[in-house]
């Protein structure tokens, strides 16, 4: 409904395009992953899709907790935390339970995107170190495919 309204009122025309932009690849570190495969089977969904990655603490003392989480879900949550696309290239197809705790750097947004003073352990690892040490995964900087919305045409609306 909104798309139709925008197209009619503003003569808006858009298309999706995939571009290679700076981001990260989530890969398995050389010693193999340190992930506990989830044994929970209390998922009410017949497809077994319940669970995920949940952020606790925000900028105060950030922690990601995975419950029956896929690596794609972890990559999506890391994308949110880092502000750049993280692509899952681990090749791990299972569902995992894990906790990831780190000290945010000055570039990471806090709760609601604002700056929140870090109230945790000053010796805690950075997010990149935590991913490698705690999960034995690695975030490698590279260019990743990102789907973007391109505006082809837009006009001022006509008077009613």
Mean pLDDT of 13-39: 93
Task: Give yes or no for residue 112 having a pLDDT over 50.
Answer: no
For residue 22, the model assigns a pLDDT of: 96
Domain range annotation of the chain: 19-39+50-146
CA-based nearest residue to 108, from 92, 121, 90, 126:
126
Supply the pTM of this predicted model. 0.76
d(CA 79, CA 127): 12
Mean pLDDT, rounded, of the chain: 83
CB-count burial class (<10 Å; 0-12, 13-18, 19+) for 2: exposed
CB 24 within 8 A of CB 142: yes
For residue 138, the model assigns a pLDDT of: 96
d(CA 50, CA 52): 7
d(CA 43, CA 86): 27
For residue 29, the model assigns a pLDDT of: 95
The number of beta carbons lying within 10 Å of the beta carbon of residue 30 is 8
CB 19 within 8 A of CB 160: no
Q: What is the pLDDT of residues 30-50, one digit of tens each?
A: 989 999 888 876 665 544 456
Q: What is the pLDDT of residues 53-100, one digit of tens each?
A: 776 555 555 677 888 889 999 999 899 888 899 999 999 998 998 888
Reported confidence tier of residue 105, pLDDT bands at 50, 70, 90: confident
Mean pLDDT of 19-30: 96
As a whole-number percent, the residues of the chain with pLDDT over 90 amount to 46
């Amino acid at each position: 409904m909104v798309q139709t309204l925008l197209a009619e009122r503003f003569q808006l025309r858009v298309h999706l395009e995939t571009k290679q932009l700076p981001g990260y690849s989530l890969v398995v570190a050389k010693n193999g992953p340190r992930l506990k495969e989830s044994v929970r089977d209390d998922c009410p969904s017949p497809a077994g899709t319940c669970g995920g990655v949940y952020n606790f603490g925000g900028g105060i003392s950030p922690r990601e907790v995975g419950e029956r989480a896929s690596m794609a879900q972890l990559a999506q949550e890391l994308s949110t935390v880092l502000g750049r696309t993280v692509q899952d290239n681990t090749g791990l197809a299972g569902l995992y339970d894990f906790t990831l705790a780190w000290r945010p750097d000055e570039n990471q947004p806090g709760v609601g995107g604002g700056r929140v003073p870090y109230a945790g352990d000053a010796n805690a690892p950075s997010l990149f170190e935590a991913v490698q040490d705690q999960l034995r995964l690695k975030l490698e900087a590279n260019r990743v495919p990102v789907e973007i919305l391109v505006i082809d045409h837009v006009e001022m609306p006509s008077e009613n």
